[in-house]
Amino acid sequence: MVIRRVVVYVALSLLGATAVRAQSSAHAVSFGPAATSARESTAQKDARMQWWRDAQFGMFIHWGAYSVPAGVYHGERTDGIGEWIMSHSKVPIPEYEQFVHAFNPTKYDADAWVRAAKDAGMKYIILTSKHHDGFALFDSKVSSYDMVDAAPYHRDALKALADAAHRQGMRFGVYYSIMDWHHPDAQGPNAPEYNSRTWHNPNFARYVETYMKPQLKELLTQYPNIDVLWFDGEWVADWSDEQGRALYDWLHTIKPSLIINNRVGHSRQGLQGMSANHDAPGDFGTPEQNVPATGLPGVDWETCMTMNDTWGYKKFDDDWKDTKTLVRTLIDAASKGGNFLLNVGPTSDGVIPAESVARLHEIGEWMRVNGQSIYATTASPYGAPAWGRYTVARNEIFAQVFDWPKNRRLVLTGVTSKPSDAYLLADRKPLTIEQTSEGYVVLLPAVAPSSISSVIAFHAGDMTGSLPSEPVGRMKE
Ligand code: FHN
């Protein structure tokens, strides 16, 4: 039986950083023994993580100087993800700086961005404060390679969004790349082989101590509503797990309530998101562009995904996923105990592409009817039925019906004890449940209320047996 966030905590790291937590599960690979950090008790970590666990759904924003070339270099369309144009097209640093000197998002409206996220039912936003290209969207005192000093915009774009999020009651966090293709003590000198996994910079420690950590401190002190630090670019040869643990601990001395992803260290295992049995600093695993088949039992995790094939804006990338795919991915992640961080890549003049805004609105239409089957949910104790998924919130189960049965009889696969109080979320109308040789069957109306997922709520008799009796994801040890 797998329940998200059945809390048996893990404090794996030798440095006492609270590592990603663990749970026991029939088929799950355990992510290490349970413990809590020297400083933080299980209950304290629970409290720290609660809003994030209940939020489930966030907006990722990849925005920066790379949105200026928008995937085109010297008239050539570049392959791959837009924010990597400096590396993919081997753009010399002085030439890349010209993109920064042309970055002036005159149409940037931070409140509109937050409204678009709220419209989709998202509860938090993660903005790229500095991506691999080293350009900072905020007013950094330790660098002039930022939005205020180097770009004609000459304003703190991150502050505008942090304030707008605060005004609209939206949680806010930032992405920060450890890898830095611009900095002379980081990957800059290895140009154009910016993304080497083997090249060492003898001065990297100086980059960490005199640039990266001061910038992280600026972020946490200049923008008090930053609640998440989303690291990336941790695969460079000069960054180790030990440095990750030390950084994790140091950041918590500045902001004890901060939530930090596992890319502060080396446990992401490529796009899988979390390596098994890895003593890892960080509070949650980070699968990328996929939802793990059986989730990541025992740990907090969050799948991040693009709406098309790029994180940063590319003017010709129109391979958009449809709204049904995006909502079903959100449901899939929630049904397996994970969060979903859906990306937008605004243009260089500060506009979220219309295709993204339209999908956010359509996702919101589904969430306005069915959001209670997503927020603060835990993993399905009944696995994944052929017709869809189950999510669980408090002591209610939600059957997420993707494929509406033509015979109007939905078999509640996996539900072993008498379910009751079934109703459609769409119209709250009660539904009849029969006990048959196939199992418990819900009798359905002819027409499915949603082509994306029609949600049936019910109580299951054995909830008390198998599922946590306490609110989301807590089971006394
Ligand atoms: O290299 C980055 C990429 O540009 C993007 O930011 C994604 C988002 O999770 N992370 C890295 C690739 O794993």
Q: Which residue CA neighbors atom 5 of ligand 1 most closely? A: 311
Residue 12: predicted pLDDT: 42
**Kind plus residue range of the DSSP H or E element containing 245:** helix 241-254
Question: Is there an atom of ligand 1 within 6 Å of 83 CB?
Answer: yes
pTM above 0.85, yes or no: yes
Q: How far is CA 273 from the centre of its chain?
A: 11
Question: Is there an atom of ligand 1 within 6 Å of 288 CB?
Answer: yes
Q: How far is the CA of 251 from the centre of ligand 1 (A)?
A: 22
Question: Is there an atom of ligand 1 within 6 Å of 311 CB?
Answer: yes
**Separation between Cα atoms, residue 144 and residue 189, nearest integer Å:** 18
Contacts (Cβ under 8 Å, ≥6 apart) of 381: 1, 2, 3, 390, 392, 414, 466, 467
Sheet holding 226-232, edge to edge: 259-260, 226-232, 171-177, 124-130, 57-61, 339-344, 302-305
Contact indicator for 66, 312 with CB cutoff of 8 Å = yes
354-370 vs 323-335: helix crossing angle, rounded to 10: 50
Q: Which residue CA neighbors atom 4 of ligand 1 most closely? A: 83
Can you name the residues that pair with 392 across neighbouring β-strands?
Answer: 378, 397
Question: Is there an atom of ligand 1 within 6 Å of 133 CB?
Answer: no
Contact indicator for 399, 444 with CB cutoff of 8 Å = no
Question: Is there an atom of ligand 1 within 6 Å of 216 CB?
Answer: no
H-assigned helices in 78-224 = 85-88, 93-100, 110-119, 157-167, 204-207, 213-222
Question: Is there an atom of ligand 1 within 6 Å of 81 CB?
Answer: yes
Residue of 232, 268, 314, 339 best suited for mutating to test ligand 1, as the one with most atoms within 8 Å of CB: 232
Q: How far is the CA of 305 from the centre of ligand 1 (A)?
A: 10
pLDDT tens track, the chain, 477 positions = 344 444 444 444 444 444 443 444 444 444 444 444 556 999 999 999 999 999 999 999 999 999 999 999 999 999 899 999 999 999 999 999 999 999 999 999 999 999 999 999 999 999 999 999 999 999 999 999 999 999 999 999 999 999 999 999 999 999 999 999 999 999 999 999 999 999 999 999 999 999 999 999 999 999 999 999 999 999 999 999 999 999 999 999 999 999 999 999 998 988 898 877 667 899 999 999 999 999 999 899 999 999 999 999 999 999 999 999 999 999 999 999 999 999 999 999 999 999 999 999 999 999 999 999 999 999 999 999 999 999 999 889 999 999 999 999 999 999 999 999 999 999 999 999 999 999 999 999 999 999 999 999 999 865 544 444 433 333 333
10 Å Cβ neighbour count for 48? Answer: 18
Residue 172: predicted pLDDT: 98
| Ligand 1 atom at minimum distance from 268 CA | 13
- How far CA 76 is from CA of 69, 73, 89, 195, in Å, comes to 10, 5, 9, 21
Kindly tell me the sign of the dihedral angle through the C-alpha atoms of 204, 60, 273, 80. negative
Residue 113: predicted pLDDT: 98
Contact indicator for 366, 450 with CB cutoff of 8 Å = yes
**Separation between Cα atoms, residue 288 and residue 56, nearest integer Å:** 16
